[in-house]
Amino acid sequence: MNVFRAVLLRDLRVAFRRWSELAHPLIFFVIVVTLFPLALSPTAAQLREVGVGVLWVATLLSSLLALDGLFRGDADDGSLEQLLLSPAPMTITVLAKVTAHALVTLVPLICLVPLSAYTFNIPVAALPTLAAALLLAAPTLSVLVALGAALTVSLRRGGSIVGLLVLPLTAPLLIFGTRATDLSVNGEPTAAPLLLLGALAALAVSLGPLAIAAAVKVGLE
Amino acid sequence: MTEFFLMDGHGAYVWSAYGITLAVLILNVRLARAKHRSALQRARELAAQAEAPRKQPTVRRLQ
Amino acid sequence: MKLPRWFHQLGSPPYVYRLADRLCPWLGWLGVSLLVVGAYWGLVIAPPDYQQGESYRIIYIHPQTAYIGMMSYVVMAIAAGIGYVWRLKLAHAVAVSAAPIGAWFTFCALFTGAVWGRPTWGTYWQWGDPRIMFEALLLFLFLGYLALRGAFDERDKADRVTAILAVVGVVNIPIVHYSVEWWNSIHQGPTILRAGGPAMTNDMLAPFLIMVAAFTLTFYWLLLRRLQGEIVEREGDARWIRELVGAGTP
């Protein structure tokens, strides 16, 4: 666990050194969320209908933006190879990096959601479920984004392909997350999709780092 | 015979489904064959290149 | 444990190439014959369904193409996994060959499914229906695999990186299959692979199974032909290749 903490703290420190870059995904989120109503010119009721979906899609897209910070920065200056060569198990290192990404990118995004939910006329009663669904989806999302980053780490222009790889894999998160929120807007019990999100998170966190570490290793060969 | 094509009004559905599937199958056969063929062609070119340099031009003795 | 000789031979490109040459004619002719027989049986001989009328005849191609698409992915994932763990180029070649075939069959499954859905359920496409969504995800997985593959310059690296993607994505296959049991779906539940045996009368079951066999044989023909092309590409100017193409100028 020492390794975990060390890598986590290091990644957090590196991220905050360029704190202006941390704002990029957040600004992107706000822009995307604003573009939809601009394009659709919806009525108040329509706004509520599309709101949940728009928020989720915007979250997914915004989480892709901080990709480079995960592996490419370290790959470029050689520290990723050092991490690979060190006696610390790569899966733990990867887990720490994924956690750092989740804390730095996803948590601020999730904090933005209540305000955006308000603009979409989503009832306040549904907010706890929305927040819970997002928090449960966050680990899986981070793992998937990290997997995309790891698979493309050795590509010079890997950025364009990552979305193509990662976004389809996030479809289940989208389906269950919006379902949970829609159920809660209608006042129905939301246990099922939330539990599914939780199960996905457990699966992703336990098996994901293995695949991610393998991808990094292969990428740097 | 016409009822066979009309399929009780469902003709468009049945025939487009079968039609597209057939087209995809034929396309795949073509693509697989083409890949095989062009790989063999490339191998032929590579082999010819490997053989060619062995034929040195005859050396003319300087008088 | 002493492994049988044929097992080792399967790791030898020239052996597999020549084996493919011997198998393909059988696979091809048998496959085409069964396709013709099955299609004729399904379109002409089989009686119309009492509920769906004539449009039910898509049952003789839709589940089959979906099944082949899923089988392609499993073949691809297993081959890629074997190639990754044991560093077998031939296994990677199998994975690469299976991918485009699987993508096309999955496309067919989605298309025939949509076309069948219109007269049966009233809609071509149902967003949020689990089976449709996860089958679409399967298509995206194939496309992602092919796209990622194309992005690498070195073939070795492309093989190993895409192998990870292939193996990670295989979790989608059981999800597609069980989606109709786990969730409420407009798609019907399993008709063949269920406890109590197939829920189909024999005069419909026969062409159904014939088409399954037909598509399977066709898949393997396509796979082997593509594999041959892939093997030749990878082996470059190896001696056996030169002999194969009847090399060079005398």
Beta bridge partners of C53: C49
Tens-place pLDDT, residues C141-171: 999 999 999 999 899 999 999 999 999 999 8
Q: Output the pLDDT for position B58.
A: 66
Q: Is the pLDDT of residue C249 over 60?
A: no
Domain ranges, residue C95: 22-48+58-234
Of the listed ranges A43-52, A65-74, C180-189, C193-202, the one predicted with least confidence: C193-202
| Structural domain boundaries in chain A | 2-219
Buried b (16+ CB within 10 A) or exposed e, A110-120: bebbeebbeeb
Average predicted confidence (pLDDT) for chain A: 87
Among A64, A4, A3, which Cα is nearest to A28's? A64
Asked if the model's pLDDT at residue C107 lies above 90, the reply is: yes
Q: Could you tell me which residues are beta bridge partners of residue C49?
A: C53
| Chain A: touching chains (3 or more CB pairs < 8 Å) | C
Q: Which residues 128-147 on chain C approach chain A with CB closer than 8 angstroms? A: 128, 130, 133, 137, 140-141, 143-144, 147
Q: Range with the lowest mean pLDDT among A175-189, C57-71, C75-89?
A: A175-189
pLDDT band at C212 (very low <50, low <70, confident <90, very high): very high
Q: How many domains does chain C have?
A: 1
Boundaries of every domain in chain B:
29-53
The reply to whether C7 falls in a domain is no
Mean pLDDT, range C29-38, rounded to an integer: 94
This prediction has a pTM of 0.89
SS (H, E, C) chain A: CHHHHHHHHHHHHHHHHCHHHHHHHHHHHHHHHHHHHHHHCCCHHHHHHHHHHHHHHHHHHHHCHHHHHCCHHHHHCCHHHHHHHCCCCHHHHHHHHHHHHHHHHHHHHHHHHHHHHHHCCCCHHHHHHHHHHHHHHHHHHHHHHHHHHHHCCCCCCCHHHHHHHHHHHCHHHHHHHHHHHHHHHCCCCCHHHHHHHHHHHHHHHHHHHHHHHHHHHHHCC
Q: What residues of chain C lie within 8 A of the CB of A169, using their CB?
A: 137, 141, 169
pLDDT average, residue stretch C51-74 = 90
Which chain C residues contact residue B50 at CB under 8 A?
237, 242, 247-248
- Choose from C137, C148, C171 for mutation: most chain A CBs within 10 A: C148
Question: Nearest CA to CA, how far is B48 from chain C (Å)?
Answer: 5
- For chain C, give percent helix, strand, coil, nearest 5: 75, 0, 25
- Higher-scoring residue by pLDDT: A221, C234: C234
Burial class (CB in 10 A: 0-12, 13-18, 19+), C250: exposed
Q: What is the mean pLDDT of residues C31-37?
A: 94
Asked if C161's CB is within 8 angstroms of A215's CB, the reply is yes
Would an 8 Å CB–CB cutoff place C209 in contact with chain A? no
Residue B30 has pLDDT above 90, yes or no: yes
Listed by number, the residues of chain B in 4-63 with a beta carbon closer than 8 Å to a beta carbon of chain C are 4, 7-11, 13-14, 16-18, 20-21, 24-25, 27-29, 31-33, 35-40, 42-44, 46-48, 50-52, 55
- From C77's Cα to the closest Cα of chain A, the distance in A is 14
Say if residue C125's pLDDT is above 50: yes
Query: Does residue C248 fall inside a structural domain?
Result: no
pLDDT at B55: 61
Average pLDDT, integer, range C202-209: 86
Residue identified by tokens 């070195």 is C154
For chain A, residues with pLDDT lower than 50 are none
